[in-house]
Amino acid sequence: MTRYSSLLIAFAASLLLVACSDDDPSTMTHYFNPVWTPDGSTIVAGYVQAPTGPVNGPDGALGAPGSLAVLDMDTRVERIISLPAVSTVHTLYAFDPSGAALTFVENGGFYFYDLTGRELLFHQPAEGGIPAVMDFSNTGNSFLWLGSTPEGYTVNTTVYDAATWTIDNQITMFTIPNDSPVLALTHTSQRSFAVRLENGTVKEYDFNGSELNTFATAPFESNNPWHYRLMFYSRNDERYLFVRDDEGIRRLDLASGIPRLLVEGGAIDMDISAVRNSMVYETTTGDTWIATVEGNPLTRIAPMNVMPRISPANNGIAMVERTDVYTDSLHVLRLR
């Protein structure tokens, strides 16, 4: 057991191996972008088992309607569920605050699924344009979303009933310019949010439509929309956005409006924990590092453990171990 006293983190002595690929070389098994339930009890990840092909191959097996691996952290049992209406590979998905529903923004609407694969709700808004991105409020059953229209992106809030899985109401607040396609959205308070544009611009808005902050980041291209995430961090009086861009990992100070490059070059994916005051990031060499929120490396986890995600309950880090071009495993590094 290794202790990092500056973060009060102790790691289990070994990684928990929870799934392995088929030994048949004619078959590939891959996992993508693990996500935790809010209580840290379950992990889901995009899952593909298909005839042998590269991880980031052309549309076909990897672009087809997808499956999810669902791992129960108590029993350590993994099962596969099928979601025929959506893609699960390099696609954004998120749990609602209760953890009862996993949501996707696809096919012009919002899909809500439970972890048996049952569709709880499909909502295609009659107004507000074509949904592009969404983010749940952490209070109440509502979510913020941007809709694409010829006039720009509408900013909308939708309230739903989690008992009946029905939509209660929708409010369109205002429209922001379509200067560049929107890639990511996150709340920065109960009455403000930030968006990331394809041209690298990050903007923060108040719910009254006023612009609070504008930052320039270095644009880049990726086939994985998770790489464009905006990660909001709030601790004491500090309020930051963390982003990966073409130059590395950048921290955007929402109070001062000043950006800072924390990790220079070579970063692909990352996650942040305000509770632990730390972050985890993947490099271009396939290494994953735990670091402080100032970007100071603490420890290298393991080679070829990619797509790291810290549990909201702070009980683990989920990763995909890429053994070779055809073989993945889903790993969990337990925290305590």
Q: Which tokens hold the place of 54?
A: 């590269």
Secondary structure class of 175 (helix, strand, coil): strand
Give the DSSP per-residue string, 303-314. Answer: ETEEEEEE-TTS
The predicted structure's pLDDT at residue 109: 98
Per-residue pLDDT of the chain (336 residues; tens, 9 = 90+): 222 223 333 333 333 434 444 454 578 888 999 999 999 999 999 998 877 655 444 334 444 558 999 999 999 999 999 998 999 988 999 999 999 999 999 999 999 999 999 999 999 999 999 999 999 998 779 999 999 999 999 999 999 999 999 999 999 999 999 999 999 999 999 999 999 999 999 999 999 999 999 999 999 999 999 999 999 999 999 999 999 999 999 999 999 999 999 999 889 999 999 989 999 999 988 789 999 999 998 999 878 899 999 999 999 999 999 888 888 889 999 887
- For residue 145, being part of any structural domain is answered with no
CB 101 within 8 A of CB 110: no
Residue 27 in any domain: the answer is yes
Structure pTM? 0.88
**Strand ranges across the sheet with 130-136:** 130-136, 142-149, 152-161, 166-176
Residue 139 counted as domain residue: no
Please check whether residue 162 lies inside any domain of the structure. no
Reduced to 3 states, what is the DSSP secondary structure of residue 225?
Answer: helix
Residue 261 lies in a domain: yes
In this structure, is residue 15 part of a structural domain? Answer: yes
- Terminal CA-CA length for the chain: 11
In a domain? residue 116:
no
Give the pLDDT score at 273: 94
What is the Cα–Cα distance from 299 to 214, expressed in whole angstroms? Answer: 33
| Spatial distance between the Cα atoms of 143 and 272, rounded to a whole number of angstroms | 21
User: Does 220 fall in a domain?
Assistant: yes
Rounded to whole angstroms, the Cα distance separating 303 from 285 reads 8
CB 210 within 8 A of CB 192: no
Number of domains comprising the chain: 1
Q: Please say whether the beta carbons of 71 and 82 come within 8 A.
A: no
Of 184, 197, 296, nearest in space to 232 by CA:
184
Which pLDDT score, from 0 to 100, does residue 21 have? 41
CATH number of the domain that residue 252 is part of:
2.40.128.630
User: What separation in angstroms does the CA of 19 have from each of 78, 207, 287?
Assistant: 7, 44, 20
The three-state secondary structure class of 227 is helix
Summary count for the chain: helices (H), strands (E): 0, 30
Domain of residue 52 covers: 2-90+179-334
Q: Pick from 198, 220, 331: which is nearest to 269 by CA?
A: 220
Amino acid 25: pLDDT = 54
